[in-house]
C-alpha cells in the first residue's frame, strides 16, 4: 500500500464544504474525539425485495471482513491501539429512494464511512447523498458505468464496471471455435442489465458478428415471448444481461420451448447457488462473466492469504461458496481498513479526517485475495477499480465453474457448442 500525494484534502474541502445537506449538525461522528472506541461503518444494501439475494451476498462479504479483522487482529491498529469494526445495516428494500433515505440516516447516525449497495439502481441514488454530505463510500458490488461517469468525489467501487466485464467476457466467448456468425442479445430494462447488454453488443460489433436483435424488457416480462422471438431469429449464441432470477427464467423457458443456440452467456451470477438451484438441470454448460472465483490464480495479501483461503473462510462462516460480489465486498472493507491505518486517526472520524481519507483512497494500492485494488482518478471510470481481470467461466455438469477465457487466464477448455437440451 502506498500513498503518493497529500494535497488532495485542500481540493476536496473546496468542493464538499458548501454542500452539506442532510443533518450534519446533529451527526455524532463529525466532531471527532468524542470517545467512541470502534470504527462505525454504515452499510446500505437490499435485504428485502426482489434483489435481496444479491443484498445478502454483499452483507456476507462485508461481515466476513469485519469478523475476520476483529477476531484475528482485534480490529484496526491506530497509533498502537486497536479499534474494532462495527457495521450497522440499513435495508434499501431493492428500492433506490428507500436506499437514499437509508444512506441519509446512516450519515445522521454518525458513521465513519459507508459500505455501498448491491444494485446499481440504489447506488446511483446513494452516491449524490455521499457527495452532498462529504461521506466516504465504497461499493463492493455495483457495476453500472453511469456511477463512475458522473464523477462523484466521495464514492469508490472495487468491481470493474460491467462495460468492461461484459465486453471482455463476450469477446472471449466470441473467439471460441467454431466462431459464431450471429448473436441474439437480451437485457432487463434497468441500468446494470442494460449496460451489460450494451457491452455485449459492442463486443459482437467489434468482432464483426451479426446482432440479430437486441431486446430490452421489464423485469416481470413473460419469458416465453422472449424465447420465442429469439428462437425465430435462430442465432448461434444468446447473450443476456440481468440478475439471477432473469437468467433462471430465460433458460427454463428455453428448455421448455426447445430453443438451442450453441451457448448462453449470462451476467451476473451463474456460479452462485441461487442460479444453479433455480435453473436445475438447465444450469450446466452456461457461460458466465466474472472477475473472481476461488480457483483463480492470484496472490493473497492483506487479511486472507489466497483466493482459496478466502473461500474456505466463507464456507466455514456461512456454509456457502463465495462469488465475486461477495469477494469484492470484502475487498471494499479491506481497502477502508488500510486507508484508516494510513489516515492514523482514531474513531470517530472528524469531517477533516473524512476529507483526508478521500485523498488516501485516491492514491491507495492494496494487494488482496481478490486482486490488486487501485482506483482511477478522472475519466469515464473515475474512482472505479478497473485493475481486476474479467474472466469467462463455464459451469460443468456438476455445477462447478471453469475459467475458459481469455486464453491467457483459462484453466480448462470450453464445452462448446453446448449439447442440446434433449442430449444432456
Name residue, grid cell 447506488: 123
Cα–Cα dist 280/275, whole Å? 8
Alpha-carbon torsion (383, 388, 391, 396), positive or negative: negative
pLDDT-derived band at 10 (thresholds 50, 70, 90) equals: very low
pLDDT tens profile 230-258: 999 999 999 999 988 999 999 999 999 99
In this prediction, residues 404-411 reach a mean pLDDT of 93
Q: What is the mean predicted confidence (pLDDT) over 410-415?
A: 95
Res 5: pLDDT: 29
For residues 247 and 270, is the Cβ–Cβ distance under 8 A?
yes
Would you say 152 and 380 are in contact if contact means Cβ atoms under 8 Å apart? no
The CB density around residue 285, as the number of other CB atoms within 10 Å, is: 19
Hunting for cell 502506498 — which residue is that? 2
Pairing of strands 76-78, 38-45: unpaired
Q: According to the model, what pLDDT value does residue 268 have?
A: 84
Which one is predicted more confidently, 12 or 160?
160
Residue 120 CB contacts under 8 Å (≥ 6 apart), including other chains: 142, 143, 144, 146, 147, 190, 191, 192, 195
Residue 168 · residue 145 · CB < 8 Å: no
- Residue 19 makes CB contacts below 8 A (sequence gap 6+) with 131, 132, 133, 134
Angle separating helix axes 120-132 and 96-108, nearest 10 degrees: 40
Nearest to 130 by CA among 157, 112, 107: 107
Look at residue 201 and tell me whether its pLDDT is greater than 50: yes
Q: What is the mean pLDDT of residues 404-420?
A: 95
For residue 108, the 8-state DSSP code is H
Q: Which of 233, 238, 234 shows the shortest CA–CA distance to 204?
A: 238
Question: pLDDT at position 50, please?
Answer: 80
Q: How does pLDDT run across 76-113, given as a tens digit for each residue?
A: 999 999 999 999 999 999 899 999 999 999 999 999 99
The per-residue pLDDT for range 351-397, each reduced to its tens digit, is 999 999 999 999 999 999 999 999 999 999 999 999 999 999 999 99
What average pLDDT does the chain have?
90
Using CA atoms of 91, 95, 100, 102 in order, give the dihedral in degrees to the nearest 10. Answer: -20
What per-residue confidence (pLDDT) applies to 2? 32
- Tens digits of residue pLDDT in 130-188: 999 999 999 999 999 999 999 999 999 999 999 999 999 999 999 999 999 999 999 99
Separation of CA 413 from chain center: 26
% of the chain residues with pLDDT over 90: 83
For residue 6, what is its C-alpha cell? 497529500
Radius of gyration of the chain (CA): 21
pLDDT at 274: 84
Task: Look at 11-15, 33-37, 114-118, 266-270 and tell me which has the smallest mean pLDDT.
Answer: 11-15
Is residue 8's pLDDT more than 50? no
Over residues 273-326, the pLDDT tens digits come to: 889 999 999 999 999 999 999 999 898 889 999 999 999 999 999 998 899 999
Q: Please report which confidence band the pLDDT of residue 34 belongs to, taking 50, 70 and 90 as the band edges.
A: low
For residue 156 the three cell numbers come to 469508490
Amino acid at each position: 500500500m502506498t500513498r503518493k500525494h497529500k494535497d488532495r484534502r485542500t481540493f476536496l474541502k473546496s468542493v464538499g464544504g458548501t454542500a452539506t445537506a442532510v443533518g450534519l449538525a446533529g451527526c455524532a461522528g463529525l466532531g471527532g474525539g468524542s470517545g467512541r472506541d470502534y470504527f462505525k461503518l454504515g452499510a446500505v444494501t437490499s435485504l428485502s425485495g426482489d434483489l435481496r439475494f444479491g443484498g445478502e451476498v454483499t452483507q456476507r462479504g462485508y461481515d466476513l471482513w469485519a469478523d475476520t479483522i476483529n477476531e484475528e487482529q482485534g480490529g484496526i491498529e491506530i497509533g498502537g491501539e486497536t479499534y474494532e469494526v462495527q457495521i450497522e445495516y440499513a435495508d434499501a428494500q431493492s428500492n433506490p429512494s428507500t436506499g437514499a433515505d437509508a444512506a441519509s440516516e446512516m450519515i445522521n447516525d454518525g458513521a465513519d464511512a459507508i459500505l455501498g449497495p448491491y444494485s446499481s439502481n440504489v447506488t446511483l441514488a446513494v452516491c449524490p447523498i455521499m457527495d452532498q454530505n462529504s461521506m466516504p463510500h465504497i461499493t463492493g458490488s455495483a457495476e453500472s458505468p453511469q456511477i463512475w461517469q458522473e464523477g462523484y468525489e466521495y464514492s469508490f467501487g472495487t468491481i470493474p464496471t460491467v462495460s468492461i466485464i461484459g465486453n471482455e467476457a463476450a469477446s472471449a466467448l466470441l473467439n471460441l471455435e467454431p466462431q459464431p456468425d450471429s448473436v441474439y442479445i437480451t437485457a432487463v430494462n434497468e441500468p446494470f442489465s442494460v449496460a451489460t447488454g450494451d457491452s455485449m453488443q459492442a463486443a459482437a460489433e467489434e468482432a464483426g458478428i451479426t446482432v440479430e436483435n437486441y431486446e430490452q424488457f421489464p423485469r416481470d416480462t413473460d419469458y416465453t415471448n422472449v424465447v420465442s422471438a429469439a428462437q425465430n431469429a435462430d442465432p448461434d449464441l444468446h447473450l443476456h444481461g440481468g440478475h439471477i432470477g432473469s437468467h433462471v427464467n430465460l433458460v427454463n423457458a428455453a428448455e421448455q420451448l426447445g430453443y438451442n443456440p450453441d451457448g448462453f452467456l449470462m451476467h451476473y451470477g451463474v456460479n452462485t447457488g441461487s442460479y444453479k438451484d433455480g435453473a436445475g438441470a438447465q444450469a450446466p454448460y452456461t457461460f458466465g462473466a466474472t472477475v473472481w472465483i476461488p480457483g483463480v490464480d492470484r496472490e493473497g495479501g492483506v487479511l486472507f492469504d489466497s483466493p482459496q483461503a478466502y473461500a474456505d473462510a466463507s464456507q466455514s462462516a456461512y456454509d456457502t461458496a463465495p462469488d465475486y460480489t461477495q469477494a469484492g465486498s470484502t475487498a471494499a472493507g479491506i481497502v477502508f481498513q488500510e486507508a484508516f491505518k494510513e489516515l492514523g486517526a482514531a474513531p470517530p472520524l472528524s469531517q477533516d479526517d473524512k476529507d483526508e481519507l478521500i485523498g488516501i483512497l485516491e492514491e491507495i494500492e492494496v494487494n488482496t485475495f481478490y486482486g490488486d485494488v487501485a482506483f482511477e482518478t478522472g475519466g469515464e471510470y473515475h474512482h472505479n477499480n478497473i485493475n481486476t481481470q474479467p474472466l469467462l467461466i463455464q459451469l460443468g455438469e456438476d455445477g462447478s465453474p471453469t475459467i475458459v477465457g481469455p486464453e491467457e487466464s483459462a484453466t480448462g477448455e470450453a464445452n462448446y457448442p453446448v449439447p442440446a437440451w434433449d442430449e444432456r
